[in-house]
Each structure stands twice: as structure tokens, then as C-alpha cells.
Amino acid sequence: MPSFEAVVRVGPEGLDRLGQALGGPAARAATAAAGEPDEAGWLTLRLRLEDLWHAEPQILMLGTEAEVLEPEELRDRIAAASRRMAARYG
């Protein structure tokens, strides 16, 4: 069961992968509630997620097409994972 809400900006290509990352119904609900995209085509979504352990790989599935705005702890986890990946591949 979802236990927390994350606010995430998602780009157009990320929206195409959102169903795989979250599951179709959850992705459709979040997208429908988001309103209009910004001038770059990005939507700010309020996502109901289970916990940080599950949320991290779900967000990472969106690659560079996602930016976690809240909660700070999830944002920090995504940033740390991104730094580790960049160090490995850089």
C-alpha cells in the first residue's frame, strides 16, 4: 500500500515509461491529476509510493526524464545513486 507522496517533474519521454515504473493505473491517475505541462512539456506529478526502498528504483527507471522535488530524502537518494552511476561509467 502506498505510504507517502512524492512530487516529481517528469519529461515527455519519462511519461512514456511511467506506466512501467509505477503500474498503469497509478501512472494514469497521477498524469490525469497533473494539469497542463510546462513550456518544456514536463508535468509535475504527485505520486503515491510505497516506501523509499521501492520508490528509488521506480524513479530511476525514468532516467534523466525525472526530477524529484519532494520529499528531500528521496531526492537525496536519487542524487546519491546518480553520483554512484556516474562514477562507475565516467
For 2-53, the pLDDT digits (tens) are 689 999 999 999 999 999 999 888 899 999 999 899 999 999 999 999 999 9
Predicted TM-score (pTM) of the model is: 0.91
**pLDDT single digits (tens) 61-75:** 999 999 999 999 999
CA dihedral 28, 43, 3, 25 (to 10 degrees): 10
**What is d(CA 57, CA 26) in angstroms, rounded to the nearest whole number?**
16
CATH number of this structure's domain 4-89, picked from the four choices 3.40.390, 3.30.70, 3.40.228, 3.90.550? 3.30.70
